[in-house]
Amino acid sequence: EAQVTQNPRYLITVTGKKLTVTCSQNMNHEYMSWYRQDPGLGLRQIYYSMNVEVTDKGDVPEGYKVSRKEKRNFPLILESPSPNQTSLYFCASSLSATPTYEQYFGPGTRLTVT
Amino acid sequence: GENVEQHPSTLSVQEGDSAVIKCTYSDSASNYFPWYKQELGKRPQLIIDIRSNVGEKKDQRIAVTLNKTAKHFSLHITETQPEDSAVYFCAASNDYKLSFGAGTTVTVRA
């Protein structure tokens, strides 16, 4: 089954404790990205990747890191989480190397930082 | 960077009536305009999209219009049904980034 998976789905952590949210797609998609969703703000792009080893900042990259060592995986790293990073996070992938085609979203990861 | 504004933030319509959501964008380089629907507790899913070389596109009860000169685009849902109740997001993309509007919560009253 073609899909985007994220793990974990729910995470409660404390300020400053490094964490990684994994994202994997099995559709051989070129473009992958991370979004955070907050009430009243919609979906905001954190980082995107157009190909292996090619990543760039989205609109809200502060406090986050990513890597794209393999085509299928695009982990999101929070080196020192803070309460303002409490949010719902979505990973997405797209067939093309640009975001000008349908984005397939993962199921979401709800993160709470206390 | 791109700034996408979406209105209204909430919309309540009687079943069978039409719903219209409007968005504006700021970056003249944007060339792709998708609309996503997100049901409660679910992931966003694409419902329709339009490219900059097209002025209008229709898919059954859903249509999207684009005015590149004015930098605005709209989603039209006709003959609304209870299953149309959801949050709808517009978005605009250049060849690198995808920027979303803040969303419209649509409620269809029976």
Residue with token string 């998708």: B34
Looking at the partner chain, which of B6, B36, B97 has a beta carbon nearest the beta carbon of A45?
A: B97
d(C-alpha B101, C-alpha A80), whole Å: 28
Quick: pLDDT tens for B56-90: 999 999 999 999 999 999 999 999 999 999 999 99
A114 touches chain B (CB under 8 A): no
**Which residue from A70, A89, A71 is spatially nearest to A81, judged by alpha carbons?**
A89
3-class DSSP state for residue B35? Answer: strand
3-class DSSP state for residue A32? Answer: strand
Looking at the partner chain, which of B1, B34, B51 has a beta carbon nearest the beta carbon of A59?
A: B1
With CB atoms and an 8 Å threshold, state whether B97 touches A43: no
B26 touches chain A (CB under 8 A): no
pLDDT tens for the 114 residues of chain A, in order: 889 999 999 999 999 999 999 999 999 999 999 999 999 999 999 999 999 999 999 999 999 999 999 999 999 999 999 999 999 999 999 998 888 899 999 999 999 999
Looking at the partner chain, which of A90, A99, A107 has a beta carbon nearest the beta carbon of B97?
A: A99
Residue B20: pLDDT over 90? yes
Per-residue pLDDT band at B26 (split at 50, 70, 90): very high
